[in-house]
Structure 1
Amino acid sequence: MKLSEILDRRCIKLDMYATKKAEAIEELVNLLLKTGKVSNIKGLVDELMAQEEVVSTGIGQGVAIPHKLVNHVQQAVMAFGRKSDGIKFNAIDKQPVTLLFLILGPKGKPTEHLQLLSKLSRFLHQTRFKEMLLTAQTTDEIWETLRRQEESE
């Protein structure tokens, strides 16, 4: 499965309002709710935050990938958010997070979930890819950046 296939352009937010981790996760979950990608978010933000208490998904270098296998989805869904001045996220390098990808996968498909996370992590270790995400002016540019990155693999 391709990341560009699960990222709906309506689930991309270029100017997040969040300043803290819980706000950021809630903002991304609400994108999924507003676009019908999830129908029941009761407790979902709490589940994600409980997981964050165990280990932060702030992987460093301004990136966080909150993720979870849940009963709320039939297939993988993703939201993307960007915050130019950063969000306090307790990342492993203690730096603010500017790029956030939220991935929710169905509980019965852990292998697919891990493959999506692995692919996204590889992409995010490439400086040019991250720079394009940081400088994109529109949601279409974000989506196209992801699509082109997948095609070049």
Structure 2
Amino acid sequence: MNTLLNALQEGRLLELPDNSKEDALQFLAHIIEAIPSIPPGTDVVGLVEKREASVNTALGKGWAVPHARVPGEGDLICVVGWSPAGIEYGAPDGIPVSIIAMFLVPNDQRNHYLREVSILARTLTTYPEIDRLHSAEELNDVREILLDLISVATETGGPDTRVRMIQLQAKTAVETMPAEDLSKFVIEPVTVVTGPGIKPVVLAQNPELTSALDIAQGLAEGIASNGVFQNGGWRVIRRGVVVYQANRIVYDCLAIKTVADR
């Protein structure tokens, strides 16, 4: 469970902006793609979608563990998404998924990944308070439940995991910092309005984001054709489209940027 613990330590627990399985998977995959250590051009979205099309990754008990396998060596990386309402995921027990733990799995980390998922699956069948996730109302509550679940799992884990768990709990108790303040990502809603002969109009609260997209070339084309556009360190992801009269189009998007890029 080291990788799941790392995700909590490093602020990679995020509330999902949509309750659609496809949108949730794309969102988390784009988060992984935005991590600075991930090689540019790594198609995490495509790899996750291809895997999910062949095998449903729901574990049951409200959990799913989609993953993307990539060649070469590197760290096993996890990003965790929480859906307050739950996502219809086609789980074997029929329970909507509240937690999606998405992994990026380099070839040399395959056994590590399988071991982590095996421990997680076993823990979910024995953890006495698993239903607390279905009634959680805030991200901090979710984080505390996950820390408790990892603590239960580490009772059968190695000494290194137990030591790191104790250290994280002590740090949390001292700092009392909200989980969302630990996030390494800036995530902003943005609306892009386009139309024939009209320069794209960017509507966002973040002035840095607005400035970056106002001067970007190919913004409308990128969002329309690929569903994603990158400029100035921002990754803009299309979530929805509404077409109005005179072929004027409004794109509902999310923009993601790592704190390290700011």
> Post-superposition shift, 1:102?
0.8
> Post-superposition shift, 1:129?
5.1
* Residue type of the alignment partner of 2:119: K
Alignment of 1:1-150 (within 5 A): 2-7=2-7, 8-13=9-14, 15-36=15-36, 38-40=38-40, 42-71=42-71, 74-128=74-128, 130-131=130-131, 133-134=133-134, 135=136, 137-138=139-140, 140-142=143-145, 144-150=147-153
Name whichever of 56-65 and 123-132 sits farther off.
123-132
Paired residues, what number?
152
Counterpart in the other structure of 1:151: 154
| Preserved contact between residue 38 and residue 73 of structure 1 (Cα < 8 Å) | no
Q: Post-superposition, which runs of at least 4 consecutive aligned residues in structure 1 deviate over 6 A?
A: none
Q: Which has the higher strand share?
A: 2
Residue segments in structure 1 that go unaligned for 5+ positions in a row: none
Cα distance 1:133–1:149, how it changes in 2: closer, same or farther (>3 A)?
A: farther
> Post-superposition shift, 1:145?
2.4
Share of identical aligned residues, percent?
21
Structure with larger Rg:
2
1:44-90 superposed Cα distances (whole Å, 9 cap, x missing partner): 11111111111110222322111232238711011111112111222
1:130-149 superposed Cα distances (whole Å, 9 cap, x missing partner): 24555375165255325423
* Residue type of the alignment partner of 1:88: E
Name the TM-score, length of structure 2 as normaliser.
0.50
Structure 1 distance, partners of 2:60, 2:152, is 21
> Post-superposition shift, 1:126?
2.7
Q: Larger relative CO (CA 8 A, sep 6+): 1 or 2?
A: 1
Name whichever of 99-108 and 121-130 sits farther off.
121-130
Secondary structure of the equivalent of 1:120?
Answer: helix
Secondary structure of the equivalent of 2:50?
Answer: helix
Name whichever of 36-45 and 71-80 sits farther off.
36-45
| Preserved contact between residue 9 and residue 140 of structure 1 (Cα < 8 Å) | no
Structure 2 distance, partners of 1:122, 1:26, is 27
RMSD: 2.8
Name the TM-score, length of structure 1 as normaliser.
0.79
Cα distance 1:48–1:148, how it changes in 2: closer, same or farther (>3 A)?
A: same
| Preserved contact between residue 32 and residue 38 of structure 2 (Cα < 8 Å) | yes
> Post-superposition shift, 1:97?
1.1
1:95-147 superposed Cα distances (whole Å, 9 cap, x missing partner): 42111111122113321121111112122223435245553751652553254
